[in-house]
């Protein structure tokens, strides 16, 4: 069986332990093992600090942007191969695999684009110069410089390529070397992507390391300039964030946890409208894409009470058109859950929700004799205020309809019972209703997505995380923030106020664009 290796301190290492098996979720068979036993984690950290960091910081933003562009191309070259691997180890359909891989290369390309605009700069300017003295002779301005540490990225199993590359894009562009730890269940596509990254020779040595398996005592070794960005469950996030060393050293931590994202159908949306059709399409897509294993997937569907039956019937019909089965078969639109562990968790979760819900379609039963398959499961809450509906995230093709009175106020009340989400979506052509909904849910969400008949035709679905927009959310969603264009670099940089002689601040610490045009 294949033993997946780690790329650490300049070479590939095979673990010296037995390793943990990972599976093909279609067959349930173990196909490889991951194991980092024997790795010297201090050497990993030192390598990032002493080799990778200095090499990255010696470059301009423009030069680092060019690295991202080249990485995007290098990964894209292997697209077909990565799709096959993703089908095999993640249970992804071809469409799901593309969503992950093209998301990875697209985000790298987007950050290449953002970074190119920064040209020869080696630090960023934040805001304008401000007069502090009686005259402009004594002034202040803010700059941001790369931090001198390493970025430990602990990613989730559901997006082995995208999850790794979106964090990497921000970190590398900022000038901070990456230590990547992928989600174990889908480590094979992550490992192959890592191999492509390393073999491409694009990144300077030390700028990227890959830990396949446990990170050992690495967390206890991170220092004051290091940072840790985690995507995964809220409980693991809290466990990591509470690490004594991280707390003591003020190591920066970003947590992107899951959430019970809600889609809301406005009261006035006509059943024949494009807005309603989009609502059905997007909810069904969120439930079935990646077999519902998306942190942004819709878990709660708010529907005006009098329309619950209609929506239920339409969604059941829509879900019924999604063929489920072997992800290597191009006709299938939904594959298995990504791992035996997920399979068990999702079956348990559905059964729990059924205690307070009616089942419109699907259920907790295994769909086939082998493989990690469940049916797309639509539930209808008996009581939309039942606590478990707002707290239990079933990370699979499962969503629950909640009846509400059609008012923006009650929608806000129910949606915010989720205590913090990555994204919420609303479908309405009534601007007053929409505005009230947005301002009501905004304190609890990192992103609010709005459907409207005038943009329906070209809108990208709410579950798709775009590099231009921030990704993260308060409360249950982890309290973190990633991406958002250049905002995504802040986590890796130190903002510093510089006060002094205005003439010097203007010359030496001016925005690079201005300097280039001869100012």
Residue 94 tokens, joined: 């071809």
300 by Cβ neighbours in 10 Å (0-12 / 13-18 / 19+) ranks as buried
Binding mask 446-465 for its own copies (x = CB under 8 A): xxxxxxx-xx--xxx-x---
Number of shown-chain residues binding its own copies (CB under 8 A): 81
Nearer to its own copies, 286 or 481 (CB): 481
Residue 409 tokens, joined: 């106020």
Q: How far is the CB of 455 from its own copies (least distance, A)?
A: 4
Q: How far is the CB of 159 from its own copies (least distance, A)?
A: 19
Residue 153 binds its own copies (CB under 8 A): no
Residue 20 binds its own copies (CB under 8 A): no
- Residues 441-478 as b/e (b if ≥16 CB within 10 A, e otherwise) read beebbbbbbbbbbeebeebebbbbbbbeebbbbbbbbb
Tokens 């209609």 belong to: 310
State how far Cα 428 lies from the chain centre: 27
Instruction: Give the separation between CA 404 and CA 412, rounded to whole angstroms.
Output: 10
Instruction: Give the separation between CA 83 and CA 73, rounded to whole angstroms.
Output: 16
Task: Pick the binder of its own copies from 70, 305, 469, 510 (CB under 8 A).
Answer: 469
Q: How far is the CB of 262 from its own copies (least distance, A)?
A: 14
Give, for 257, the enclosing helix (H) or strand (E).
Answer: strand 252-257
Residue 281 binds its own copies (CB under 8 A): no
Binding segment for its own copies among 64-72, 204-212, 304-312, 487-495 (CB under 8 A)? 487-495
Task: Pick the binder of its own copies from 109, 470, 489, 511 (CB under 8 A).
Answer: 470
Nearer to its own copies, 17 or 133 (CB): 133
Nearer to its own copies, 23 or 447 (CB): 447
Say what angle helices 79-90 and 94-116 make with each other, to 10 degrees: 130
Q: How far is the CB of 512 from its own copies (least distance, A)?
A: 13
Nearer to its own copies, 94 or 252 (CB): 252
Site for its own copies in 196-235 (CB under 8 A): 224-225
Instruction: Give the separation between CA 110 and CA 128, rounded to whole angstroms.
Output: 26
Q: How far is the CB of 139 from its own copies (least distance, A)?
A: 8
Binding segment for its own copies among 1-9, 34-42, 81-89, 480-488 (CB under 8 A)? 480-488
Residue (of 391, 396, 356) closest to 375 by Cα position: 396
Task: Pick the binder of its own copies from 466, 510, 513, 515 (CB under 8 A).
Answer: 466
Is 295 part of the annotated catalytic residue set? Answer: yes
Is 419 part of the annotated catalytic residue set? Answer: no
The length of the chain is 519
Nearer to its own copies, 332 or 494 (CB): 494
State how far Cα 96 lies from the chain centre: 15
Task: Pick the binder of its own copies from 1, 43, 391, 504 (CB under 8 A).
Answer: 504
Residue 265 tokens, joined: 């159908």
Phi and psi dihedrals of 334, rounded to 5?
Answer: -140, 130
Residue 501 binds its own copies (CB under 8 A): yes
Q: Compute the CA torsion angle 512, 514, 518, 519 (nearest 10 deg).
A: -120
Residue 276 binds its own copies (CB under 8 A): no
Among residues 166, 256, 481, 482, the one annotated as catalytic is: 256
Instruction: Give the separation between CA 48 and CA 59, rounded to whole angstroms.
Output: 16
Binding segment for its own copies among 11-19, 38-46, 201-209, 246-254 (CB under 8 A)? 246-254
Instruction: Give the separation between CA 518 and CA 499, rounded to whole angstroms.
Output: 23
Residue 141 tokens, joined: 């301005």
Task: Pick the binder of its own copies from 481, 488, 511, 512 (CB under 8 A).
Answer: 481
Q: What is the DSSP string of 324-338?
A: BS-TTSTT-SB---S
How many CB atoms neighbour CB 138 within 10 A?
Answer: 14
Give, for 280, the enclosing helix (H) or strand (E).
Answer: helix 274-288
Nearer to its own copies, 21 or 223 (CB): 223
Nearer to its own copies, 35 or 392 (CB): 392
Residue 503 binds its own copies (CB under 8 A): yes
Binding segment for its own copies among 283-291, 307-315, 342-350, 481-489 (CB under 8 A)? 481-489
Site for its own copies in 117-146 (CB under 8 A): 122-123, 126-127, 130, 132-135, 137-138, 140, 142-143, 145-146
Task: Pick the binder of its own copies from 2, 16, 199, 499 (CB under 8 A).
Answer: 499
Residue 36 binds its own copies (CB under 8 A): no
Site for its own copies in 45-104 (CB under 8 A): none
Instruction: Give the separation between CA 457 and CA 162, rounded to whole angstroms.
Output: 26
DSSP 8-class letter at 128: E
Phi and psi dihedrals of 431, rounded to 5?
Answer: -65, -35
Residue (of 75, 250, 249, 256) closest to 156 by Cα position: 256
Residues contacting residue 203 through CB under 8 Å, at least 6 positions apart: 67, 71, 172, 197
Residue 439 binds its own copies (CB under 8 A): yes
Residue 494 binds its own copies (CB under 8 A): yes
State how far Cα 464 lies from the chain centre: 9
Nearer to its own copies, 99 or 191 (CB): 99
Residue 496 binds its own copies (CB under 8 A): yes
DSSP 8-class letter at 255: E
Task: Pick the binder of its own copies from 25, 478, 488, 511 (CB under 8 A).
Answer: 478
Residue 474 binds its own copies (CB under 8 A): yes
Tokens 């030192």 belong to: 46
Q: How far is the CB of 346 from its own copies (least distance, A)?
A: 24
Binding mask 399-428 for its own copies (x = CB under 8 A): --------------------xx--------
Among residues 170, 212, 295, 372, the one annotated as catalytic is: 295
Where in the sequence numbering do the catalytic residues fall?
256, 295
């Amino acid at each position: 069986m294949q033993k997946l290796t780690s790329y650490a301190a300049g070479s590939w290492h095979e673990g010296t332990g037995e390793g943990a098996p990972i599976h093909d979720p279609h067959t349930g068979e173990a196909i490889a093992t991951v194991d980092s036993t024997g790795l010297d984690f201090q050497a990993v950290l030192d390598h990032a600090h002493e080799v990778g960091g200095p090499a990255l910081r010696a470059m301009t933003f423009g030069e680092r942007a060019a690295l991202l562009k080249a990485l995007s191309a290098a990964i894209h070259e292997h697209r077909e191969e990565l799709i096959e691997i993703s089908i095999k180890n993640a249970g992804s359909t071809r469409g799901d695999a593309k969503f992950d891989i093209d998301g990875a290369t697209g985000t790298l390309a987007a950050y290449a684009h953002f970074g190119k605009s920064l040209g020869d700069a080696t630090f960023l300017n934040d805001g304008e110069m401000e007069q502090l003295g009686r005259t402009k002779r004594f002034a202040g301005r803010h700059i941001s410089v790369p931090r001198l540490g390493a970025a430990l990225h602990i990613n989730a199993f559901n997006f082995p390529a995208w999850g790794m590359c979106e964090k990497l894009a921000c970190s590398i562009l900022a000038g901070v070397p990456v230590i990547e730890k992928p989600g174990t269940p889908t480590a094979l596509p992550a490992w192959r992507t890592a191999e492509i990254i390393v073999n491409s020779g694009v990144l300077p040595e030390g700028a990227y390391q890959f830990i396949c398996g446990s990170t050992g005592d690495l967390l206890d070794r991170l220092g004051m300039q290091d940072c840790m960005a985690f995507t995964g469950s809220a409980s693991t996030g809290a466990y990591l964030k509470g690490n004594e060393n991280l707390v003591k050293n003020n190591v920066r931590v970003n947590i992107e946890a899951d959430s019970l994202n809600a889609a809301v159908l406005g009261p006035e949306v006509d059943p024949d409208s494009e807005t309603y059709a989009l609502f059905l399409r997007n909810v069904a897509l969120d439930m079935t894409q990646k077999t519902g294993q998306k942190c942004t997937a819709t878990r709660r569907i708010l529907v005006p009470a009098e329309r619950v039956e209609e929506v239920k019937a339409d969604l059941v019909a829509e879900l019924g058109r999604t063929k489920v089965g072997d992800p290597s078969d191009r006709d299938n639109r939904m594959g298995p859950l990504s791992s035996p562990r997920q399979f068990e968790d999702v079956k348990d979760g559905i059964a729990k929700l059924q205690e307070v819900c009616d089942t419109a379609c699907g259920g907790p039963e295994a769909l086939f004799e082998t493989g990690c398959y469940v049916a797309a499961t639509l539930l209808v809450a008996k009581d939309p205020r039942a606590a478990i509906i707002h707290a239990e995230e079933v990370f699979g093709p499962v969503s629950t309809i909640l009846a509400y009175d059609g008012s923006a106020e009650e929608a806000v009340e129910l949606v915010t019972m989720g205590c913090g989400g990555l994204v919420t979506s609303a479908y309405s052509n009534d601007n007053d209703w929409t505005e009230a909904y947005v301002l009501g849910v905004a304190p609890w969400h990192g992103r609010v997505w709005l459907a409207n008949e005038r943009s329906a035709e070209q809108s990208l679905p709410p579950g798709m995380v775009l590099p231009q927009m921030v990704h993260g959310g308060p409360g249950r969603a982890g309290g973190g923030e990633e991406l958002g264009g250049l905002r995504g670099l802040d986590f890796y940089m130190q903002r510093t106020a510089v006060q002094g002689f205005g003439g010097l601040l203007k010359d030496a610490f001016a925005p690079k664009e201005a300097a280039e045009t001869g100012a």
